[in-house]
């Protein structure tokens, strides 16, 4: 087992697929397999923030 290799491996924040150095797409401190995963993640995050706002209103 190599800890160094482990630390280097990144997972896509959207689909959690492990990424190799060559295919990753780095945006906003996160790693994604491609631009569409990045966009999907942004949408998810936005929706989460929206729903948090909704909850805050109700509370």
Q: Which is nearer to Zn ion, 15 or 47 (CB)?
A: 15
The Cα 33–Cα 15 span in angstroms is 8
The Cα 15–Cα 23 span in angstroms is 14
Tell me the DSSP string of 18-47.
Answer: EE-TTT-EEETTEEESSHHHHHHHHHHHHH
Q: Which is nearer to Zn ion, 36 or 51 (CB)?
A: 36
According to CB under 5 A, which one of 8, 9, 15, 23 is a site residue for Zn ion?
A: 15
The answer to the question of residue 37 lying near Zn ion (CB under 5 A) is yes
Q: Which is nearer to Zn ion, 36 or 52 (CB)?
A: 36
Binding site for Zn ion (CB under 5 A): 12, 14-15, 33, 37
């Amino acid at each position: 087992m190599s800890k160094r290799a482990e630390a280097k491996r990144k997972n896509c924040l959207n689909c959690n697929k492990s990424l190799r150095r060559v295919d990753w797409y780095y945006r906003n401190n996160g790693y994604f397999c491609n631009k569409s995963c990045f966009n999907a993640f942004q949408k998810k995050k936005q929706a989460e923030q929206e729903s948090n706002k909704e909850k805050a209103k109700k509370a």
